[in-house]
């Protein structure tokens, strides 16, 4: 399933876009952080399960969240843009769990969050539905969400490779106890959405506490959740949810790229306002502190059940660090960027236990090492660890993002502090999470980044829409 509007947002014209980056002579600016992607996904999909009307303000405008919005509409939720704020503010009318069969394949595009959460949302429905995604999403493992939903009573059939496309046959669900082998907010959220529609008590255990946006939003919507220590959740179903108005805080994982640029560029300084600083997401800031970065949080407050603050970051001399596996749930999306910072730090850094990066939008572990090496940094993969020797001179490079938005942005930041011009190809993927990125970086750096169009290419996924 793909609406015309969603296709325009996510597929674009089929033209490949490159970034041309020159060494930055300055990096200064201030902005209000773009809406958090994780919370925006949940606002649309949880809102579809709720009763009544809600208003979502400050939503992430990226293509991934447009997929969640389109799927919510396909199963019966009515979602309307707010006049004058068409990309970031929406009125949503929930279905109270009484969804309609979409009649077409639901297309999650590049968004693993959309696909996995939609499975939990639809697990108790009395119809079957097929969910699919783009070529990158079809490489990502889905057995980790199949198993807990099957324990609740849903039937989820995967491809022979254990990936999308997948077919979900909804059924009456019964509560269960599930212990997850991975700390995954996506798997946890899918389980919670299904367990809320099940009969009887359920318990979910994870090895470490993953990001808790789902628990916070569900509590605001009236769900009764109990926590027994870190990583153990209890609930009894079925439960109904009420729609609530939500102002989405800024996305730390996106803002991190401009924060890092300010730390690296001589004389750099950025102020980011309305930044979400949920403690299950701030591992990046903890590592920056260990590395000696100069930054400070101001005006801490709470909005919509989430902690928010303003952050000022300034150019810093960084020192090497180690990142341990138990830290990863709080900073998994920032690993490529932390590797970039390590390349400019004094000493050797080791980022441990990165196996999960192999099943992201790309093999991010290998791709991050290759990215650093292309720019002249010393980086190697040892088992599931990434070892980066910092302090060496960097040279401009020409690289292809491989369609991974976080690698594309990390490469752009690296280009700002490398000798000579750099070119990052295939950057349209940045629109999945942070479409404002190139414009902000260009403005803050006085034009060190410019965009070029490459040759048009056929859109292989268009026929699936």
Question: Residue 257 to residues 155, 393, 409: CA-CA distances in angstroms?
Answer: 40, 21, 7
Nearest alpha carbon to residue 445 among 282, 234, 257, 217? 257
Question: What is residue 454's predicted lDDT score, i.e. its pLDDT?
Answer: 66
Question: What is residue 14's predicted lDDT score, i.e. its pLDDT?
Answer: 57
Across-strand partners of 93? Answer: 53, 78
Q: Which of 333, 400, 404, 426 is the catalytic position? A: 333
Q: Per residue in 286-303, pLDDT tens? A: 999 999 999 999 999 998
Structure tokens at 30: 């201030």
pLDDT at 459 over 50: no
Edge-to-edge strand ranges of the sheet holding 348-351 = 322-323, 348-351, 385-389, 378-382
User: In the chain, where are the structural domains located?
Assistant: 4-35+249-464, 37-246
Contact 388, 359 (CB under 8 A): no
In sequence order, which residues have a C-beta less than 8 Å from that of residue 383 and are 6 or more positions away? none
Question: What is residue 3's predicted lDDT score, i.e. its pLDDT?
Answer: 35
Question: Residue 322 to residues 68, 142, 149, 210: CA-CA distances in angstroms?
Answer: 36, 30, 36, 20
- Domain 4-35+249-464 falls in which CATH fold? UDP-n-acetylglucosamine1-carboxyvinyl-transferase; Chain (3.65.10)
Structure tokens at 273: 């306002």
CA atoms within 13 A on the CB side of 424: 29
Question: Residue 167 to residues 114, 149, 424: CA-CA distances in angstroms?
Answer: 15, 13, 37
Sign of CA dihedral 61, 96, 91, 2: positive
Rounded Cα gap, residues 199 and 201, in angstroms: 7
Rounded Cα gap, residues 443 and 29, in angstroms: 8
For residues 452 and 264, the model is more confident at 264
Contact 142, 173 (CB under 8 A): no
Asked if 333 is an active-site residue, the reply is yes
Rounded Cα gap, residues 156 and 147, in angstroms: 9
Q: Per residue in 160-186, pLDDT tens? A: 999 999 999 999 999 999 999 999 999
Q: Per residue in 323-365, pLDDT tens? A: 999 999 999 999 999 999 999 999 999 999 999 998 877 789 9
pLDDT at 464 over 80: no
The per-residue b/e assignment along 132-146, b for 16 or more CB within 10 angstroms, e otherwise, is bbbebbebbebebbb
pLDDT at 9 over 70: no
- How much is the average pLDDT of 250-270? 98
pLDDT at 460 over 80: no
Task: Give me the chain's average pLDDT, please.
Answer: 93
Structure tokens at 83: 């006049």
List, in sequence order, the alpha helices (H) in 265-376.
Answer: 283-290, 335-343, 364-374
pLDDT at 8 over 80: no
Structure tokens at 357: 């990066």
The radius of gyration of the chain from alpha carbons, rounded to an integer in Å, stands at 21
- Domain 37-246 falls in which CATH fold? UDP-n-acetylglucosamine1-carboxyvinyl-transferase; Chain (3.65.10)
Among 7-16, 24-33, 149-158, 403-412, name the one with the lowest average pLDDT.
Answer: 7-16
With cut-offs at 50, 70 and 90, classify the pLDDT of residue 429. very high
Alpha-carbon torsion angle 360, 363, 366, 367, nearest 10: -80
- How much is the average pLDDT of 85-106? 94
């Amino acid at each position: 399933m793909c609406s015309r509007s969603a296709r325009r947002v996510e597929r674009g014209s089929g033209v490949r876009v490159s970034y041309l980056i020159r060494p930055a002579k300055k990096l200064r600016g201030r902005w209000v952080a773009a809406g958090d992607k994780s919370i925006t996904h949940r606002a649309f999909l949880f809102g579809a399960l709720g009763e009544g009307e809600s208003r979502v303000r400050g939503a992430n405008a990226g293509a991934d969240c447009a997929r969640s919005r389109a799927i919510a509409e396909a199963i019966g939720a009515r979602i309307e843009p707010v006049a004058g704020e068409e990309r970031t503010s929406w009125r949503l009318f929930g279905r109270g769990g009484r969804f309609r069969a979409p009649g077409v394949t639901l297309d999650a595009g590049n968004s693993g969050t959309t696909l996995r959460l939609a499975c939990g949302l639809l697990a108790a429905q009395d119809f079957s539905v097929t969910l699919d995604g783009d070529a990158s999403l079809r490489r990502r493992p889905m057995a980790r969400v199949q198993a807990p939903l099957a324990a609740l009573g849903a039937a989820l059939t995967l491809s022979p490779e254990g990936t999308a496309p997948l077919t979900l046959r909804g059924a009456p669900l019964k509560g269960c106890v599930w212990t997850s082998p991975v700390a995954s907010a996506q798997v946890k959220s899918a389980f919670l959405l299904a367990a809320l529609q099940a009969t009887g008590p359920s318990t979910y255990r994870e090895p470490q506490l993953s990001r808790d946006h789902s628990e916070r939003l569900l509590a605001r919507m009236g769900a009764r959740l109990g926590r027994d220590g870190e990583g153990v959740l209890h609930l009894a179903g079925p439960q109904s949810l009420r729609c609530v108005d939500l102002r989405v805080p800024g996305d730390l994982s996106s803002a991190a790229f401009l924060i890092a640029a300010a730390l690296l560029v001589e004389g750099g300084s950025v102020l980011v306002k309305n930044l979400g600083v949920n403690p299950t997401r701030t591992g990046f800031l903890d590592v920056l502190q260990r590395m000696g970065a100069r930054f400070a949080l101001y005006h801490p407050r709470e909005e919509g059940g989430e902690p928010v603050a303003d952050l000022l970051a300034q150019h810093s001399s960084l020192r090497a660090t180690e990142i341990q596996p138990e830290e990863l749930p709080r900073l998994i999306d920032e690993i490529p960027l932390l590797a970039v910072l390590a390349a400019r730090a004094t000493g050797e850094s080791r980022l441990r236990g990165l196996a999960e990066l192999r099943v992201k939008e790309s093999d991010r572990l290998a791709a991050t090492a290759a990215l650093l090496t292309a720019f002249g940094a010393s980086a190697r993969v040892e088992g599931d660890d990434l070892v980066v020797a910092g302090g060496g001179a960097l040279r401009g490079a020409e690289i292809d993002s491989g369609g991974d938005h976080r690698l594309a942005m990390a490469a752009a930041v690296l280009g700002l502090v490398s000798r000579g011009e750099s070119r990052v190809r295939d950057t349209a993927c940045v629109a999945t999470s942070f479409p404002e990125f190139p414009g902000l970086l260009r403005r803050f750096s006085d034009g060190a980044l410019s965009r070029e169009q490459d040759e048009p290419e056929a859109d292989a996924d268009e026929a699936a829409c």
